[in-house]
Amino acid sequence: MTKGCATGVLLERDDETNMVGQALEQARGGIGSIVVVAGPLGNGKTALLRALSRHPGAASFSVRHASATLMERDHAYGVVRQFLEPALTGAPDEVSLGSAVLARPVFGGGAGDDGNDDAARSVQLGLLSLWRDLSAIKPLFVLVDDLQWVDEPSLELLEVLAGRIRHLRMVVLVSVREGDSLAERPAAASILSAATRRLRLRPLGPAGTAMLVRAKLGRECDEEFALACHEATGGNPLLVTALALAWAVGGEAPTAANADLVRTVRPAQARERVVACMRAQPDPVRRLLKAAAVLGESAELDAVGALAGLDEQTTAEIVRGLTRLGLFRGTGFVHSCVREAVDDLMTAAEREQLNLRAVRLLYELGKSSESVAGQLLATSTPQGPWAVEALRDAAHVALRRGAPEAAVGYLRRALLDTSVDGLDRATVLVDLASAERLLDVNAAVRTLSYAVALLPGPRERAAALIRLTPAVMGDAPEAVVSILRGVVEEFGPPERHCGVDRDLALRLEARLRFIGRTEPWELATTGARLDELRAAGRTDSGAERELLSVLVNAATLTARVPARRVAALAEQLLARAPASSAHSASTAPLLVTALAVADSPGVVDGWLDRALTAAQQRGDVVEQATIRTEQSLVHLLTGRVAEATRAASDAFDLGAWNSSAVGASAAVLAGAVALQLGDRDLIDQMLASVKGEPANQCLATVTGLLRGQAAVVRGEHAAAALTLTDCGAHLDRCGWRNPVLFPWRSALALVKLTLGATGDAIALAEEERLIAEEWGAASGVGRTLRVLGRVVGGARGLELTGRAVEVLRTSAHRLELLYALRQQAEFTNLPDSWRSCLELAEEISDQQIAHRARAALGVSAPASTGGKLTRSEQKVAMLAVSGRSNQEIAEMLEVTSRAVEKHLTNTYRKLGVRRRAELGDALRSMGPVSPVR
């Protein structure tokens, strides 16, 4: 590295310094040369010239430095004066009288201003003679910064000198900004072509950028931070310096954690330089820059040129020049500060006019709908019906590519071009509600209520209302529910219609029934309506399947239709629902819950894997949160405790619990899973996210159950009993009795037993057993038998526990079977019972119960099996600890997400952990492992 790099002056410029040293050595021997330092704006030309003026090889030279400026271009011989005035002042007797006389007009003022060619040639001859005489006395090292701005007389003199310099003891080092139109003047081009050495400064590499950043900040910085600076600036020294200084003003630490923030820094110092550079450009260049700024980074070149009023060839030439100038990369700005500098050149009125012209231009050129829509977003002037259609088209495209935020932005802008209360406005509002439901359920419902009020007839209102799924409408406020009821009454029952109108009526009924899922009198008709539809055998249309799915969900909540019937119908309906379809826009989540709770979770396992993969490919976080919530329930009811915990935690991180986009249904399900897992960390995490009392009563009830469970863990049994009683009463009032989904009576019975209220405990447990028998799912029946056995105790309790074990062996709910086996072993204290309990505890990785069983058997825990991780399991585990998602790991290792899930499950089981957060400590306890390759 060149000396002086600590100050940021000559970073990575060794080759250039050596080449100038060679030129100086030759000049000392009588062979002069022109050396050109070229490059775009800000690449360090001026800094290099200043450093080279102190080059060791120039110690025996007379060094002369001149800097040209744009403002002084009209000052004749201004650059020449900077060279020669100090020399003449210092040694007036050492130059020939003739040279001094001829050159005197330059230093007396007015030279070259009278247009006399003979006088100009005489002055030029005198100046050349002066240079020759001075170089004879002592070799000259002349440095000219910014050749493109040198005044014309000085430039012409340098051109003549370039033709004769080969015979002088002189090196002329000039810097020139590539791409500047003034550098293409004939005299300047002649000087550049006469150069014997041309140095084009490269951008700084990552190491050089890091050193410059550290020098400007005056402190060390993390490697990741420095790398982010390099990526943000492309290694341009001007941008690096400006960015570092702007960062220093902010006072934030230059750490890896702040690396992403570097891209948001707006270096004002660089912008000022860029603005000055742009002001110096010809009018066509400035017009093109403004057009590019208005159209944005993704604009195509033909549109930019057309907006600037330039033909194709001129546009291409200007873009090439801007690229050489360092303002463009490809067809866009090299850095955000360049675009901001262009904005500084425009008034608000000028920008608005350009935006309006750009909108029409893109539309007339047939550019993509999103390009037109993006331009419309920048305007506030209404454009009329064509703009509405363009924005709606763009919104549909954005939704297909998984960008609901963009779609919402387009549609809200479209409202500006609609009437105040017409059908056109209602149409846009319906589209907007459909997009908003992916981001904010409450906003979507409000928007739809505005739209329905503007629609002319029941059919139009019905078509609008069904744009939101039953689950979304289930969270609607009373005002919207009243609108829906009114439309349903106006439209009439499905039996009065056929074709499209019948489908509309069925879908309206599905939404109304979902809204009524917390009303016992609404739920009471579920079984009869199911029988009616099943008897008709009508499951061909999507509307019929949607209504059936809602009814299946209602039947699951009430537990008044046998689980086997519910499971059979749900499986039939799910088979007609493609896993790749948008999950959040269908009723599939209702079917998944029904199948899991009806003791048929295996049916949906693979289907959910495929649905999650499709959601990840679309980048839909809302869908991923919903699916992970459903997977947590399926994993729980199949005894995969570690996977259930991890899926529930993932769903929480993605927003299933507190996201307005997901809605209350997924949050209720997530809370139910957390309750049954009994995971204190997960319960605390969910409760901490609740701000106040949830508006949704179902969600408020589940939140209350979580608080009750937390109180049990803290040993506050009296408070827990009150909370569970209140929440249970609310569930009963809603008609939600399913003991698999919400086993609140069992939980309360165990609390009552602890408080000594055995009679109350037996009554609660028996009541839940009867409900479970009516529902008929083995997991529910087995649990209620176990709890009843616990509260009854004695021989009767042992008998009930034995029956629970028998029933649960027919269920997929391995965790509940483990609880029953533990209880049986506690009753009998027989080694065989404890061994059965231990085997299942180790199989499903429940370390707490496994420890209890080993203590009863008098055996110690096996040695850590962490060393037995396979190579693939090690890779997946280490990548998981580094913070990568399952999908990212799958892409890196070129395997499926399901394979990653299985590897993690095996790893959790071997290491005895239940969640990703515990994985790092478990891996460290294994000792050194081979690095992932």
Mean pLDDT over residues 429-449, rounded? 87
What is the per-residue pLDDT for 932? 39
Closest CA to 151 of 38, 65, 72, 64: 72
Beta bridge partners of 35: 173, 197
Three-class SS of 424-476: HHHHHHHHHHHHHCCCCHHHHHHHHHHHHHHCCCHHHHHHHHCCCCHHHHCCC
Closest CA to 65 of 74, 55, 76, 195: 55
Residue 6 reports pLDDT greater than 50: no
Residue 511 reports pLDDT greater than 60: yes
Instruction: Out of 243-252, 820-829, 837-846, give the one with best mean pLDDT.
Output: 820-829
**Which amino acid is present at 512?**
L
Question: 271-346: which CATH topology?
Answer: Arc Repressor Mutant, subunit A (1.10.10)
**Which amino acid is present at 409?**
G
What is the per-residue pLDDT for 202? 84
Cβ 345 vs Cβ 272: under 8 Å:
no
> What's 176's DSSP letter?
E
Helix (H) or strand (E) segment spanning residue 365: none
**Which amino acid is present at 561?**
V
For 470-492, write each residue's pLDDT tens digit.
Answer: 877 776 778 888 888 888 888 88
Q: Considering only 86-95, 477-486, 637-646, which range has the smallest mean pLDDT? A: 86-95
CB atoms within 10 A of CB 246: 17
| Predicted TM-score (pTM) above 0.75 | no
Q: What is the C-alpha separation between 254 and 475, in angstroms, rounded? A: 46
Cβ 820 vs Cβ 811: under 8 Å:
no
**What's the pLDDT band for 865 if we cut at 50, 70, 90?**
very low
Q: What is the C-alpha separation between 123 and 111, in angstroms, rounded? A: 8
Helix (H) or strand (E) segment spanning residue 63: strand 62-67
Closest CA to 176 of 145, 150, 133, 213: 145
Q: What is the C-alpha separation between 744 and 594, in angstroms, rounded? A: 19
Helix (H) or strand (E) segment spanning residue 671: helix 664-677
**What's the pLDDT band for 886 if we cut at 50, 70, 90?**
confident
Mean pLDDT over residues 53-57, rounded? 90
Percent of the chain topping pLDDT 70: 89
The position carrying tokens 């000052």 is: 75
Beta bridge partners of 175: 37
Percent of the chain topping pLDDT 90: 30
What is the per-residue pLDDT for 930? 41
Mean pLDDT over residues 321-328, rounded? 85
Q: What is the C-alpha separation between 453 and 426, in angstroms, rounded? A: 8
* Pairing outcome for strands 197-200 and 62-67: unpaired
* Pairing outcome for strands 332-333 and 328-329: antiparallel
Cβ 92 vs Cβ 73: under 8 Å:
no
Mean pLDDT over residues 162-183, rounded? 90
Q: What is the C-alpha separation between 84 and 74, in angstroms, rounded? A: 19
Helix (H, G, I), strand (E, B) or coil at 36: strand
Helix (H, G, I), strand (E, B) or coil at 924: helix
Question: 866-925: which CATH topology?
Answer: Arc Repressor Mutant, subunit A (1.10.10)
Q: What is the C-alpha separation between 439 and 447, in angstroms, rounded? A: 13
The angle, 0 to 180 degrees and rounded to 10, between the axes of the packed helices 283-295 and 268-279 is 140
Q: What is the C-alpha separation between 584 and 566, in angstroms, rounded? A: 22
Cβ 505 vs Cβ 497: under 8 Å:
yes
Chain centroid to Cα 793, Å, comes to 56
What CATH number matches the domain at 5-200, 2.30.110.10, 2.60.40.1180, 3.90.550.10, 3.40.50.300?
A: 3.40.50.300
For 892-922, write each residue's pLDDT tens digit.
Answer: 777 776 677 777 777 776 776 666 666 776 7
Structure tokens at 500: 């499209």
Closest CA to 212 of 499, 374, 77, 10: 10
Mean pLDDT of the chain: 84
Round to the nearest angstrom and report the end-to-end CA distance of the chain. 33
Q: What is the C-alpha separation between 641 and 812, in angstroms, rounded? A: 12
Mean pLDDT over residues 920-926, rounded? 66
Contacts of 192 (CB under 8 A, 6+ apart): 36, 38, 147, 174, 176, 183, 198
Closest CA to 892 of 905, 907, 906, 876: 876
Instruction: Tell whether the torsion through CA atoms of 497, 503, 507 and 508 is positive or negative.
Output: negative
Chain centroid to Cα 783, Å, comes to 43
**What's the pLDDT band for 651 if we cut at 50, 70, 90?**
confident
Residue 389 reports pLDDT greater than 90: yes
pLDDT: is 591 or 10 the higher one?
Answer: 591
Residue 925 reports pLDDT greater than 70: no
Beta bridge partners of 66: 144
Cβ 439 vs Cβ 409: under 8 Å:
no
Residue 110 reports pLDDT greater than 60: no
**Which amino acid is present at 880?**
A
**What's the pLDDT band for 931 if we cut at 50, 70, 90?**
very low
Residue 91 reports pLDDT greater than 60: no
DSSP string, 813-830: -HHHHHHHHHHHHHHH--
Residue 818 reports pLDDT greater than 90: yes
For 674-695, write each residue's pLDDT tens digit.
Answer: 888 877 877 887 787 776 676 6
Cβ 131 vs Cβ 164: under 8 Å:
no
